[in-house]
């Protein structure tokens, strides 16, 4: 792209006169000298993020005028050459005529079998059944719908194609009310009544076009998707100053959608202008970190704090609150920090016993994140005070044992329909799956992909708390403690094996990118139950993204695995990146 130079920051008068502006406020010196009112200065954000330069705008306008004149000339010429044709002409006659003249939007009068005069568009390929006009006299102008003709190629706008792809493949119907997925299931109802230029609408288009580009094997940061992204950022900047806009659910969802867009990019660098917008969301409420992986989450948190968590009581509002809480917990585990105190207190706004299993698991993980941070800090300190250190380790051990008990109670409270089925043999695990990636001679089959995501999160939490227990027992070696340590390590190995056994359910036998809904892909199946049809949609679209996080977490953990297992996991990670065309893998430690 040609570099057009840095845009002038001078006033409009100085720019028009092509002289240097001193940029004084409220009026520049040149305007004062010639005693002319100074028109002021362009906003620096709008200037830096302008769509086009003045020269480019004029060129585009000239091109538009030429194309408009050409269309009008073609329309007038085709209108003069258009002729009437009987409505009941045979398809073969129409097809013959279609090869001689192109269809045009010119209109011509036609006489129906009932004697009524009908004015229709002169599309040479549209067939109108005679019986339509035999019962109802038509006196008004009729334009046959383009989509009803079997001979007419559909001309679907790109925006509609992208949205169809996104809503059909990523917004799947809810089969189990206990397996909720945050705010995505509410996007379609909101989209139907939202302003086309709102941050929510533009963010949705940015994410949809980004995901479509990834599925097609293109750069996710295409010009098309990037244009929607930049428009969403600008619209969000304009809405931040409005008190009402900051208190709407759509604004928070727009920020979360932009986070999804950034995660889909090969790199996570955030534009300076977008950081300024998110800074406006955060000023006075929280500090904005430079790391772009946190910027969108910080912006969503700032909006929630501005509005007040107690005001998120509607169905959609509560779903947003729970989704953001889950993201904050994941970030706390990633950074080995406790969950912010105000986010921890959100649990008081709803009754965990009446919530879905994933929400109750998040409530346990809040305490686990705090314990994990404290344990890491304590075990790294030098042994200055032996008695104080021993007391603190006993306190951490007691807290870890309590969380371990709560996690096991959570497992017992999970619905029986969520229990995975372990399968063996070629009858339930096709040989192609065994060749693509099967760690042992078995794998697990789950009701849906959303349920296995919750199970793997539970396994990661149990591994973390078991690691803390083993490290605390290692501080006070004894015969009993050594036996407990060995039992803990065996439990960790079993949990790692369970995560490995879930990978075939996510990926099937795929080793290369494929098409969504491809029924030729083989998945493991439970006895008497073929794979659910939805799995052929959710697996290719979300399966790889869902399994990457557990695999990356296992590879980063300082745990002892069975010989060759770590290398097998790294191979499955590379396979997932290849199948889902993921340009940048999560760090492996």
Please check whether residue 491 is in contact with residue 466, taking contact to mean a CB–CB distance below 8 angstroms.
yes
- Kindly state whether residue 230 falls inside one of the protein's structural domains: yes
Q: What is the mean pLDDT of the chain?
A: 76
The answer to whether residue 296 is domain-embedded is: yes
Instruction: Label residue 535 by pLDDT band (50, 70, 90).
Output: confident
- What's the pLDDT band for 444 if we cut at 50, 70, 90? very high
Query: 577 and 457, same structural domain?
Result: yes
Question: Is 243 in the same domain as 149?
Answer: no
Burial of 488 (0-12, 13-18, 19+ CB in 10 A): buried
Give 268-306 pLDDT, tens digit per residue.
333 434 433 433 343 333 333 334 556 778 888 888 988
Is the pLDDT higher at 30 or at 479?
30
* pLDDT at position 102 over 60: no
pLDDT number for residue 41: 84
Read off the pLDDT band of 46 (50, 70, 90): low
Find where tokens 């290398």 sit: 567
DSSP state of 526: B
* pLDDT over 80 (residue 536): no
How far apart CA 20 and CA 31 sit, in angstroms, is 12
Same domain, 567 and 446: yes
- Exposed, middle or buried, 18 (CB in 10 Å: 0-12/13-18/19+)? exposed
Looking at the domain assignment, is residue 300 inside a domain?
Answer: yes
Mean pLDDT computed over 227-252: 84
Pair (573, 490) in one structural domain: yes
Would you say 411 and 361 are in contact if contact means Cβ atoms under 8 Å apart? no
217 and 270 part of one domain: yes
Query: H or E segment at 119?
Result: strand 117-121
Q: Pull the structure tokens for residue 454.
A: 């919750």
Contact 448, 534 (CB under 8 A): yes
As for how many domains the chain has, the answer is: 3
Residue 264 pLDDT level (bands cut at 50, 70, 90): low
Please indicate, yes or no, whether residues 227 and 145 belong to a single structural domain of this protein.
Answer: no
| Mean pLDDT in residue range 351-377 | 86
Of 87, 81, 114, 116, which Cα lies nearest the Cα of 100? 81
pLDDT at 30: 92
Query: Of 484, 501, 489, which is closest to residue 558 (Cα–Cα)?
Result: 489
pLDDT band at 550 (very low <50, low <70, confident <90, very high): very high
For 537, residues 6+ apart whose C-beta sits below 8 A from its C-beta are 168, 169, 172, 516, 517
The pLDDT of residue 269? 39
Shared domain for 433 and 572, answered yes or no, is yes
| 379 is a domain residue | no
Do 547 and 488 share a structural domain? yes
pLDDT digits (tens, 9 = 90+) for 108-142: 443 433 333 333 333 333 333 333 333 333 333 33
Query: CA–CA separation, 361 vs 406, rounded Å?
Result: 9
How far apart CA 111 and CA 130 sit, in angstroms, is 10
Alpha carbon distance 56, 305 (integer Å) = 43
Instruction: Say if CB 123 and CB 145 are below 8 A apart.
Output: no
Q: For residue 542, is it within any domain?
A: yes
Model confidence over 182-216: pLDDT tens digits? 777 778 788 878 888 889 999 999 988 888 887 77
Where does a domain end: 251, 281, 307? Answer: 307
User: Are residues 281 and 141 part of one domain?
Assistant: no
User: Are 299 and 443 within one domain?
Assistant: no
The answer as to whether 220 is a domain residue is yes
Query: What does the pLDDT look like over 378-427, one tens digit per residue?
Result: 877 766 666 677 888 899 999 999 999 999 999 999 999 899 999 999 88
Q: H-helix or E-strand containing 2? A: none
**pLDDT at residue 488 greater than cutoff 50:** yes
Final residue in a domain of this structure, among 132, 155, 178: 155
Buried b (16+ CB within 10 A) or exposed e, 130-166: eebbeeeeeeeeeeeeeeeeeebeeeeeeeeebbebb
Residues shown for the chain:
589
Angle between helices 272-282 and 292-307 (to 10 degrees): 30
Q: In the chain, pLDDT over 70 holds for what percent of residues? A: 71
List CB contacts of 494: < 8 A, sequence separation 6 or more: none
User: How do residues 215-227 score in pLDDT, each as one tens digit?
Assistant: 777 777 777 888 8
**257 and 148 fall within a common domain:** no
Residue 339 lies in a domain: no
Q: What's residue 470's pLDDT? A: 93
Nearest Cα neighbor of 474 from 387, 369, 377, 397 is: 397
Give whichever of 157-166, 251-260, 367-376 has the largest mean pLDDT. 367-376
Phi, psi of 120 (to 5 degrees): -125, 160
The pLDDT value given to residue 429: 92
Q: What is the pLDDT of residue 516?
A: 67
| Pair 457, 541 in one domain | yes
Q: Which of 254, 276, 307 is the last residue of a domain?
A: 307
261, 203 Cβ separation under 8 angstroms = yes
Please determine, for residue 564, whether its predicted confidence score (pLDDT) is greater than 80.
yes
Which domain covers residue 181, as residue numbers? 162-307
């Amino acid at each position: 792209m040609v570099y057009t130079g840095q845009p002038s920051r001078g006033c409009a008068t100085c720019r028009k006169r092509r002289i240097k502006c001193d940029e004084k406020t409220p009026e520049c010196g040149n305007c004062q000298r010639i005693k002319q009112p100074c028109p002021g200065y362009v906003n620096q954000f709008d200037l830096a993020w302008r769509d086009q330069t003045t020269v480019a705008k004029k060129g585009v306008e000239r091109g538009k005028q030429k194309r408009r004149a050409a269309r009008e000339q073609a329309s007038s010429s085709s209108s003069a050459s258009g002729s009437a044709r009987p409505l009941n002409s045979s398809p073969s006659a129409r097809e013959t005529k279609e090869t001689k003249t192109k269809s045009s939007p010119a209109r011509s009068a036609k006489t129906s079998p009932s004697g009524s005069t009908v004015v229709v568009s002169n599309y040479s390929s549209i067939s109108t059944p005679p019986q339509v006009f035999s019962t109802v006299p038509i006196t008004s102008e009729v334009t046959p719908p383009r989509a009803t003709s079997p001979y007419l190629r559909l001309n679907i706008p790109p925006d509609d194609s992208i949205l169809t792809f996104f809503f059909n493949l990523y917004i799947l119907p809810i089969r189990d009310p206990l397996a909720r997925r945050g705010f995505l299931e509410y996007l379609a109802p909101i989209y139907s009544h939202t302003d086309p230029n709102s941050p929510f609408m533009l963010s949705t288009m940015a994410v949809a076009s980004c995901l479509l580009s990834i599925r097609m094997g293109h750069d996710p940061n295409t010009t098309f998707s990037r244009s929607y992204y930049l428009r969403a950022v600008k619209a969000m900047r304009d809405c931040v100053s409005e008190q009402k806009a900051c208190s709407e659910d759509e604004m928070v969802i727009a920020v979360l959608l932009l986070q999804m867009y950034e995660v889909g990019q090969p790199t996570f660098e955030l534009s300076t202008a977008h950081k300024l917008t998110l800074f406006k969301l955060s000023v006075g409420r929280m500090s904005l970190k430079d790391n772009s992986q946190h910027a969108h989450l910080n912006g969503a948190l700032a909006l929630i704090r501005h509005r007040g968590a107690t005001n998120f009581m509607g169905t959609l509002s509560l779903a947003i609150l729970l989704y953001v809480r889950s993201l904050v917990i994941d970030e706390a585990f990633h950074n080995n920090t406790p969950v912010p105190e105000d986010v921890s207190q959100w649990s008081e706004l709803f009754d965990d016993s009446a919530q879905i299993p994933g929400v109750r698991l998040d409530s346990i993980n809040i305490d686990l994140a705090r314990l994990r941070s404290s344990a890491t800090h304590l075990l790294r300190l030098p042994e200055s005070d032996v008695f104080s250190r021993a007391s603190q380790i006993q306190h951490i051990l007691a807290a870890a044992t309590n969380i371990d008990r709560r996690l096991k109670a959570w497992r017992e409270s999970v619905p029986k329909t969520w229990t995975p089925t372990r399968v063996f043999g070629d009858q339930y695990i096709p040989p192609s799956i065994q060749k693509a990636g099967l760690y042992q001679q078995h794998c697990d089959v789950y009701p849906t992909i959303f349920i296995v995501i919750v199970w793997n999160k539970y396994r990661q939490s149990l591994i973390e708390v078991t690691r803390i227990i083993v490290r605390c027992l290692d501080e006070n070696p004894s015969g009993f403690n050594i036996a407990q340590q060995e039992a803990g390590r065996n439990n960790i190995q079993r949990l790692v094996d369970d995560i490995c056994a879930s990978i075939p359910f996510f990926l099937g036998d795929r080793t290369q990118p494929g098409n969504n809904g491809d029924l030729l892909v083989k998945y493991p199946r439970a006895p008497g139950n073929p794979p659910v049809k939805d799995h052929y949609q959710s697996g290719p679209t979300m399966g790889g993204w869902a399994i990457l996080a557990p695999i990356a977490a296992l590879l980063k953990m300082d745990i002892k695995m069975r010989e060759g297992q770590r290398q097998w996991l790294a191979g499955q990670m590379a396979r997932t990146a290849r199948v889902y065309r993921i340009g940048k893998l999560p760090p492996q430690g």
